[in-house]
Amino acid sequence: MSDTLAFYQRRGFAQRVGFGIRPALLVIDFINAFTDLTSPLASNLDQEIEATRQVLDTARQHNLPIAFTTVEYDEGFRDAGVFIKKVPSLSVLRKGTTMVEVDDRLTPRASEHVIVKKYASAFFGTTLSSTLTAAGVDTLLITGCTTSGCVRASAVDACQHGFRAIVIKECVGDRAAEPHEANLFDIDAKYGDVVTLDEALAYFRNLATD
């Protein structure tokens, strides 16, 4: 992978966007459908949930804008388009069920946004971009699942909407290691920065002293 990174860098990829001055936190799809192992969409994300809890606690201490996402579909799945044809397991994401609720370990507060989406990106067909813009946000710290799906799509769209996309490595997960690592590499090469949990927490500490 180091040889691939060096090749990319020689071609002008994998520069750093860096942290801005007005961050927000995005928690993508850490809902029961992806964390409860009885669900066909789920995988063991206990470590990623715990790391995200640390980031969430710190973001709350600094009164930063925080948004969660969930995915839910009406009965009949008319709002699922061709997505559900590609991934029939999405049928567990029925509106009004516990599967579409945020995992209890990360329960949103009343003041925090819970955005309902139908597809991979947290931006597609939602108010996320306008909400962040209205709050003056320039940096979006991204946590959640899955790395190769909704995390990647949201990081790409964050870049395209003019935000610095910062994916926290320990706070994102996938159901298989290969797509997880490949997509972290690709995000870091093209769309945003992949940082460690320690780097993210240090960024928050620096905000407190500015």
Q: Does domain 2-209 have CATH number 3.30.930.10?
A: no
The CA-atom distances, in angstroms, between 119 and each of 14, 71, 81, 107, 127 are 27, 7, 9, 22, 14
159 counts as catalytic: no
Local confidence pLDDT in tens for the 210 residues of the chain: 778 999 999 999 999 999 999 999 999 999 999 999 999 999 999 999 999 999 999 999 999 999 999 999 999 999 999 999 999 999 999 999 999 999 999 999 999 999 999 999 999 999 999 999 999 999 999 999 999 999 999 999 999 999 999 999 999 999 999 999 999 999 999 999 999 999 999 999 888 544
Burial of 192 (0-12, 13-18, 19+ CB in 10 A): buried
146-187 pLDDT per residue, tens? 999 999 999 999 999 999 999 999 999 999 999 999 999 999
Quote the pLDDT of residue 207.
87
Where are the domains positioned within the chain?
2-209
Q: Of the residues 145, 150, 159, 171, which is catalytic?
A: 150
C-alpha triplet 17, 129, 43: angle, nearest 5°? 80
pLDDT digits over 41-53, tens only?
999 999 999 999 9
Task: Name the pairing type of β-strands 113-117 and 23-28.
Answer: unpaired
